[in-house]
Each structure stands twice: as structure tokens, then as C-alpha cells.
């Protein structure tokens, strides 16, 4: 028979395994995309990545009049605010759920967040 302490340890181990499995299922690995982040005037999203190898256009998630705070790395947003309108880099994108898309002039724009980038 298992002692009470042994049962608690087994229960804790099973719980930890379940949490780890759940976390790995929920994790959304970033998609690396090379392209140009540009400021667009007019129809949102106002920040878009185009010129990608896959031919897609990616739009930065917005909140009100600009990008949502968690949608861009701090340094990248500072560069845009300083007037840099085109930044060519490899971006690590957190693509938002499938239903988060915008259609503009027949082109589908996938909404995403940029978690990091390298030039």
C-alpha cells in the first residue's frame, strides 16, 4: 500500500505532467518572416509587413489609434515614432487566431504581434 506521502507525491507529479502538456499545447511558436515593416496611411492596420517570401501581408494588431502595447517590442515602436517609416528585418511573429484577419482592396491581411526582430 502507498503511504499518504507517496500518494501526494504521485498526485503532484501527475498534476505537473498535465500542466506541462497543457502549456505545450497552448504555446504559439513564432513564425520568422523577412520583409519590410512600413507605416501605412488610411485603412487599418497602419503598421504592415510586406515584401515577404510567402507573399502574405501581415498587419500589427491595433488598439484605438495605434498598435496595441504588447504588439511591438519597445525599441521597434520607438524607431517608428521617431519617423522611421520602413524597417527591413526578419521578424518573429505571433500570428493571431485564424479569424483575426482584415480584407483591404481584395488583399487579406493577417493580424499579428511582433515579439522580436533582427536586421
Provide mean pLDDT across the span 62-75.
85
Query: Which of these, 116, 115, 101, lies nearest to 44 by C-alpha position?
Result: 101
pLDDT single digits (tens) 94-112: 998 765 567 777 778 889 9
Q: Does residue 119 carry a pLDDT above 50?
A: yes
The rounded mean pLDDT for the chain is 81
Q: Does residue 14 carry a pLDDT above 80?
A: no
How many whole angstroms separate alpha carbon 42 and alpha carbon 16? 49
Q: Does residue 10 carry a pLDDT above 90?
A: no
Residues found in the chain: 119
Q: Does residue 16 carry a pLDDT above 80?
A: no
Q: Does residue 118 carry a pLDDT above 50?
A: yes
Higher pLDDT, 115 or 22: 115
pLDDT above 70 coverage of the chain, percent:
75
Sketch out the chain's domains with CATH numbers: 31-118 (2.40.50)
Give the pairing type, strands 107-118 and 57-60: parallel
Amino acid at each position: 500500500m502507498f503511504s499518504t506521502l507517496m500518494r501526494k507525491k504521485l498526485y503532484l507529479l501527475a498534476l505537473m505532467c498535465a500542466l506541462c502538456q497543457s502549456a505545450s499545447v497552448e504555446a504559439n511558436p513564432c513564425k520568422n518572416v523577412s520583409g519590410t515593416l512600413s507605416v501605412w496611411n488610411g485603412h487599418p492596420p497602419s503598421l504592415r509587413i510586406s515584401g515577404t517570401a510567402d507573399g502574405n501581408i501581415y498587419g500589427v494588431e491595433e488598439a484605438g489609434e495605434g498598435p496595441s502595447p504588447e504588439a511591438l517590442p519597445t525599441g521597434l515602436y520607438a524607431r517608428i515614432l521617431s519617423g522611421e517609416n520602413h524597417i527591413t528585418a526578419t521578424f518573429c511573429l505571433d500570428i493571431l487566431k485564424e479569424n483575426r484577419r482584415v480584407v483591404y482592396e481584395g488583399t487579406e491581411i493577417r493580424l499579428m504581434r511582433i515579439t522580436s526582430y533582427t536586421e
